[in-house]
Amino acid sequence: MTARFRRLVETDRPPVSLTIDGVGVTALLGDTLMVAMLTHGDALRTSEFAGSEPAAPEPSDGRRAGFCLMGACQDCWVWTASGARLRACSTPVQNGMTISTRQPEATWANIA
């Protein structure tokens, strides 16, 4: 998977290791989860809502990679192994984090 974000400056920081959907990833100390994830891949999650084009509804509206980066849009939700929901844009990475891009049990659409 190609990286979505591109690091331009401030790259001289100590590495931090975490796991995203079971895959080991190295980020930098001070990264948000969003930056850690999007410098390794091109999305954070898959939309849980169906594409609603009347002509040909899709099973999912596609991949999402966050939107506002300021904790307002809630597009960047990811989950810890224990099921806690995090906003990837405003959560700093920590060594040993285990992150899932799918909600461990229910989905938002089911609990709304």
- 75 vs 89: CA distance, rounded Å: 9
Q: What are φ and ψ of residue 110, in 5° steps?
A: -80, -25
71 binds another protein (CB under 8 A): yes
Q: Is 78 in the site for another protein (CB under 8 A)?
A: no
Tokens of 61: 């509206």
CB of 84 to another protein, least distance (A): 8
Q: Site mask, another protein, residues 10-49, x = CB under 8 A?
A: xxxx---------------xxxx--x---x--xx---x-x
> Interface with another protein by CB under 8 A: which range of 7-15, 17-25, 94-102?
7-15
Beta-carbon contacts of residue 16 (< 8 Å; ≥ 6 apart): 26, 27, 28, 29, 31, 36, 93, 94, 95
Q: What are phi and psi of 33, to 5 degrees?
A: -55, -35
Interacting residue ranges for another protein, rule: CB under 8 A: 4-13, 29-32, 35, 39, 42-43, 47, 49-55, 58, 60-75, 77, 84-85, 89-90, 92, 108
